[in-house]
Structure 1
Amino acid sequence: MAYETKFISPYSFITLLVPIFALVIVLTLRNLVWLNYIHVLTGGTWTGVDLFMGLVMSRVLRSLDPKSRAEIIKRLVPMMLFFMPSLAAVATTAGFFLASWLGIFSFKNILILLSGVIVLILIIQGFGVIVPNEVRIVLELRKEEPDLNKVVKLGMRNIYVSGSQVVFQIVIIFIMANLVL
């Protein structure tokens, strides 16, 4: 029996578009303080959600039976599918513009290069592993007889990848703190 969860709703588009619109407005106004605010808020939220998913949700889900895991995952996916890519894209784009506007963006700067490598790793993990898995979960749950083991496997993989992203995000926060000194 297919799940009746509505995967795309007006709320999905709000979580996708609000961070993007905020960034566009700030870039249009060329306001450095607000750009910094958008960068820190989206980057901090991205890191916080990944930390929560990796440290808390992974342990909670491991303690549950597969059907309960699938129930939780099917409720997480609709929000995560739109919200997290938006946060990641806005945080990294705002970071690029912030470094450019502050005059510290240079490929000769080792900290900028390290940041670029870490951002590339995060993008590959997010858009190459997490988002495709979330799409697979949505498609599986829309089937008449969804394979709950597949849903759980893909969902748990995403949670573990989110947890691994925290390591890279903490390193990039350390780099950013040293960039502005």
Structure 2
Amino acid sequence: MAQRANPAFAGGIVAVSVVALAYAVTLGSLQQHTYVHVMAGLLWTGTDLFMGAILGPVIGGLTDEQSAAVFERLTPKTSFFLPSMALVTIAGGITLAQRLGVFPHAEPWLALFTAANLIPVLLLLGRRLNAWRDRRWQVVFAVATIGSLAWVATTVGDFQMTTPAIVVALVIVTLLSVQGFGFLMPGEIRMYFEMTSEDPDPGVISAIGKQNAMLGGVQGLFQLVLIADMVYLRYGGF
């Protein structure tokens, strides 16, 4: 996948994202932390809206062969770009909320958030990639499930209500994560397998690509709601 995306692009986008997030969380000023979170969110949201509102309708008017050719060039890049932006946005946002003091009683909520993300995402990955019988998937799923539920069990006694806007944000981010990592990412992996098969089927590539473009638009709409929630959290209203 990285070879098709251009190794420099794939490695660069992941490295820059990780370094930016690590710096913002550990050494960056509040303003720098905010910038990293907001900029990653803008790139994530903008790309999803572009996929759904512009690319989707354009691709819909092409033949399977034409749309497959587009996705063969586009998918390897979005497979690295979008998860990287999502990671920086989500992790940067959670740590920023804690830093600003608007996320009280965070640990029990983060434990629930982790379990609500990891378990459905891994189940969907296993189902959509036909990996439920794969020992590697079973090990990862078992470790993630036991670990996340153990964290929930050890923190549930301290559970208290947090800021309502934070609750809304966690719910929306969970929906985005499950949709993104449980549906979009497996679709991109399936497209890659089809692209690299001995006899690629343009119809399969086109169908998955169109579905992902539509889901990207849905992601973008959820992200617009999330942005409104963040504005409300920051300023107490509109």
The answer to which structure, 1 or 2, has the higher relative contact order (CA under 8 A, 6+ apart) is 1
Cα distance, 1:164 vs. partner? Answer: 0.3
Secondary structure of the structure 2 residue equivalent to 1:112: helix
Which residue type is aligned with residue 99 of structure 2?
W
1:29-63 CA distances to partner (integer Å, 9 max, x unpaired)?
Answer: 14211110001100011010011100000011011
CA RMSD in angstroms, aligned pairs only = 1.2
| Aligned partner of 2:220 among 166, 174, 177 | 166
Q: Quick one: which of 64, 68, 71 aligns to 2:69? A: 71
* Alignment match of 1:20 (pick from 18, 32, 50): 18
User: Alpha-carbon deviation of 1:112?
Assistant: 0.5
Q: Which runs of 5+ in 1 are unaligned?
A: none
Q: Which amino acid aligns with 2:41?
A: G
Distance in 2 between the 1:90 and 1:7 partners?
20
Describe how 1:33-72 pairs up with structure 2 within 5 A: 33-72=31-70
Decide which moves more: 27-36 or 152-161. Answer: 27-36
Does structure 2 retain, via aligned residues, the 8 Å contact 1:15–1:79?
no
**Aligned length in residues:** 177
Is the CA contact (8 Å cut-off) linking 1:35 and 1:94 kept in structure 2? yes
Identity, % of aligned positions = 35
Q: Take 2:5 and 2:42, find their aligned partners in 1: how far apart are those partners?
A: 26
Where 2:4 maps in the other structure, the secondary structure is: coil
User: TM-score, normalization: structure 2?
Assistant: 0.72
CA distance in 1: counterparts of 2:226 and 2:95, whole angstroms: 16
* Corresponding residue number in structure 1 for 2:164: 110
2:49–2:221 CA contact under 8 A, matched in 1: no
| 2:109 matched residue in structure 1 | none
Q: Which runs of 4+ in 1 moved over 3 A?
A: none
TM-score (structure 1 length as normaliser)? 0.94
Segment of structure 1 superposing worse, 13-22 or 56-65: 13-22
Cα deviation, residue 8, structure 1:
5.7
Query: Structure 1 CA distance, aligned partners of 2:24 and 2:13?
Result: 18
> Post-superposition shift, 1:142?
0.3
Matched residue, 2:200? 146
Greater shift in the superposed pair: 90-99 or 15-24: 15-24
Q: Per-residue CA shift, 1:94-118, capped at 9, x if unaligned? A: 0001100000013421110010000
User: Contact 1:17/1:86 (CA < 8 Å) preserved in 2?
Assistant: no
- Distance of aligned partners of 1:149 and 1:104 in 2 relative to their CA distance in 1, 3 Å threshold: same
CA distance in 1, matches of 2:10, 2:33: 24
